[in-house]
């Protein structure tokens, strides 16, 4: 009785395996070589996960020049704009801004936003006014 050879199946499975492994390696290599910006919403494990207060050593300056204000503000009630420079890197820094009715009063409302902070690289925080009533604003915390 003649035996059927399984060689075509072995060749087929070998070629299929090589193609799958090649495709996987190509995908890994393309992820390593392609430039791009990845937006991180959660800090990677072990990196800046201790809620470090970045405001202690940060430079926070109000922006008062009209060109910057006009370029970053779309509210009819005006905006507050701050230039912030941190001393350390933080892939996900949470900035909290407090608003009050008096310069030294307790916050009546707060807003938070997440930004990627790079050491010694300034970034802008823009908060739009919500009403024509006088209001005071300031950055309360920057945590990593």
For 63-97, the pLDDT digits (tens) are 888 888 888 888 888 888 999 999 999 999 999 99
- The 3-state DSSP class for residue 126 equals strand
What are the DSSP calls for 41-102, one per residue?
A: SSPPTTSS-S--BGGGG-EEEE---HHHHHHH---TT-EEEEEEE-SS-EEEEEEEEEEESS
Tens-digit pLDDT profile for residues 1-34: 455 455 655 666 566 566 655 555 555 444 444 3
Average pLDDT of every residue of the chain: 74
Distances (CA, A) of 132 to 2, 6, 80, 99: 95, 83, 14, 14
pLDDT at 112: 94
Query: What is the reported pLDDT for 7?
Result: 63
Give the per-residue pLDDT at 20: 58
pTM of the model: 0.60
Tokens standing for residue 6: 């399984």
Count of C-beta atoms within a 10 Å radius of residue 118: 15
């Amino acid at each position: 009785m003649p035996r059927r050879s399984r060689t075509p199946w072995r060749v087929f499975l070998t070629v299929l395996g090589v193609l799958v492994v090649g495709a996987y390696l190509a995908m890994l290599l393309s992820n390593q070589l392609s430039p791009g910006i990845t937006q991180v919403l959660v800090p990677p494990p072990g990196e800046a996960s201790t809620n470090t207060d970045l405001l202690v050593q940060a430079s926070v300056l109000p922006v008062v020049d009209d060109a910057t204000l006009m370029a970053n503000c779309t509210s009819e009630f005006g905006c507050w704009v701050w230039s912030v420079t941190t001393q350390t890197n933080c892939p996900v820094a949470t900035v909290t801004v407090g608003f009050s009715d008096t310069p030294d009063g307790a916050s009546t409302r707060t807003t938070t936003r997440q930004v990627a902070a790079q050491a010694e690289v300034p970034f802008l925080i823009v908060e739009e006014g919500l009403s024509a009533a006088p209001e005071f604003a300031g950055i309360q915390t920057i945590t990593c």
